Chains A and B, each alone.
Chain A
Amino acid sequence: MAEFTEALFSIFFVETLINGLLLGGVLALLSLGLNLIFGVIDVVWICYAEIIMLGMYTIYFLHVDGGMPLIAAAAGGVGVTALLGWLTHRLVIGYLLDAAPINQLLATGGLLFFFQGLAMVAFGIEFRNLGVSLGSLALSEDIYLSWTRLLSFAIAAGVVIVLFQFLSRSYLGAAIRAISQDREIMVLMGVNTKKLYLLTSAIGGGLAGLAAALLAMQYDVHPFIGLSFGPITFMVCVMGGLGNMVGGFLAAFVFSELITIGGYFAELEWGYVLAFGFFIAAMFIRPEGLFARKS
């Protein structure tokens, strides 16, 4: 995981805080799709980070091997991950809707291994680098901020706003909110729940592709990269109150600050230890999530 946040190291605490904020943007984007899926279908996709990993490979493949411009490659990545999300529901979760939640979680764990195997078969185990750098913004002589990270932050914020508008203003958005509150009676409203689940899975998958595009610019891809940011993504979602997108957004920043501050005072891994430790403690205080609304 060292490479994941290596760039965060700095001798200046302010820079650390700002970097924490920016890392929060990436984490927020990572957790958005997972949160949406959980909110609607009530299933935790353990394999979500692996979908992001496959998205990163798609972008790498289209851009480096296929010679496509970066934007087009990113769009291709979003398309592929949306398809993967759709397939995940169509071929796996759809058969387990009435099974115990833990079985649903374990089935997506099977997908995790499958996706890792798929990436290994198709791309091998070498680390692959997109070779794109947007450079950095110099705030002062000593403080630099990575453009990629600034961009991630802006896109994450933008996606949250768009998603929020979609959920609160459109019929489809209302249905997505409603189905998480009472699945059975959706039929009485004329909602084809199967279709809505598939659509949500595809949107969630597409969001993974968006996250993949931003991660591919910052980190090398390899088949097991999902394991390095998967756990953190789940923690962010759970702490925000699973399914609560605004909560997840805030939780992402709490986590990212803990990681960067921990990393500032000691090794980066201690930052993660601090963040996970905080997560475990927070679960005991408010099992329903730190930012969950009381119902």
Chain B
Amino acid sequence: MLTLRHVNAGYGDFQALFDVSLDVNAGEAVAVIGPNGAGKSTLMRVISGLIPAVAGSIEMEGTSVLDAPPYEIVGMGVAHVPENRRLFPRMSVEDNLRMGCYLPKFRARFEERKRFVYELFPRMQERRDQLAGTLSGGEQQMCAIGRALMSDPKILLMDEPSAGLAPVIVQQVFELIDRIRAEGLTVLIVEQNVKQVLRVVDRAYVLESGSLHMEGTADELLQSPEIQKSFMGM
């Protein structure tokens, strides 16, 4: 579904990604794991158009993402849950969800998608008139995911969904991801929390210093001594 080939990207003179190629197939959940500063967030940002790619190609179902203006990428079925959730803090939960289906072609399905999100996260329905900035960390993550789901995306990009959350909440967040997977959605997720994320995805890539080093199924990587040593402290 999503294909990256030889992608280079960075900020100004600083190059953060070197020759990255990866695939995400329909229905699959794929993780990109790696240490802090490996370029994981850059990868997400380059796919959804927040920063431009310097070289290489990114295709979504055969259509080049790089040729489209950044604000049209969400219209191609790519929804991005940004790092640190980035909700609109002074807007209600429902208004945040509304922003998730801003594009005119999504608007007609607002009520339907809203019901879907509320069924998935009943807590959001309880909090629908509350300002997003006043939600707890876990609720904010629900709201951020819900906002991304409003456009009925084909693929969901999740950037460090567990970052900055208390351990108990992290547990809940991975349960959320499980629930989304059960809906049959394709997911690409970047995480530092390697042990937990490998339990919810099918495959994973290891990103270090801007390039991909390893690739394998979740089980393979969980068993790999190298991964255990560098990421799980075993």
Contact = CB atoms under 8 A, between A and B. Distances in A.
Interface of A: 171, 174-175, 177-178, 181-182, 184-193, 293, 295
Nearest to A177: B91
Interface string B7-40: 0000000000000000000000000000000000
25 contacts: A171-B98, A171-B102, A174-B91, A174-B99, A174-B102, A177-B88, A177-B90, A177-B91, A178-B88, A178-B99, A181-B90, A181-B91, A182-B88, A185-B82, A185-B86, A187-B48, A188-B80, A189-B74, A189-B99, A190-B74, A190-B103, A190-B106, A191-B102, A192-B71, A293-B90
Contact of A174 (B74, B82, B95): B95
A174 B48 contact: no
Interface in B85-105: 86, 88-91, 95, 98-100, 102-103
Contact of A192 (B69, B86, B95, B151): B69
Contact of A191 (B50, B71, B79, B91): B71
B127 interface: no
Taking each of A177, A178, A186, A191, which has the highest tally of chain B beta carbons within 10 Å of its own beta carbon? A178
B75 A190 contact: yes
Contacts of B91: 174, 177-178, 181
Interface in B34-59: 48-50
Dominant SS among interface residues on chain A:
helix
B107 interface: yes
B99 A187 contact: no
Q: B interface, how many residues as a size bin?
A: 20 to 34
Central interface residue in B71, B82, B86, by most chain A CB within 10 Å = B71
Interface of B: 48-50, 69-72, 74-75, 79-80, 82, 86, 88-91, 95, 98-100, 102-103, 106-107, 133, 151
A187 B70 contact: yes
B50 A181 contact: no
Contacts of A193: 71
Contacts of B98: 171, 174
Contacts of B69: 192
Contact of B82 (A177, A188, A295): A188
Nearest to B157: A188
Contacts of A182: 86, 88
A193 B98 CA distance: 17
> Which 5 pairs, one residue from A and one from B, show the smallest C-beta to C-beta distance?
A190-B103, A190-B74, A181-B88, A178-B88, A187-B70
A181 B80 CA distance: 18
Given A178-B91, A189-B99, A171 B107 contact: yes
A186 B69 CA distance: 13
Contacts of A187: 48-50, 70-71
A190 B86 contact: no
A175 B90 CA distance: 12
Contact of A188 (B48, B90, B133): B48
A15 to B, nearest CB: 40
A181 B100 CA distance: 15
Highest count of chain B CB atoms <10 Å: which of A181, A190, A191, A193? A190
B96 to A, nearest CB: 8
A194 to B, nearest CB: 9
A187 B25 CA distance: 25
Given A171-B107, A188-B80, 5 more contacts: A178-B99, A185-B50, A187-B48, A187-B50, A188-B74
A192 B88 CA distance: 17
A181 B89 contact: yes
Contacts of A177: 88, 90-91, 95
Contacts of A295: 89-90, 133
A184 B99 CA distance: 14
Contact of A190 (B88, B102, B133): B102
A184 B50 contact: yes
Nearest to A295: B90
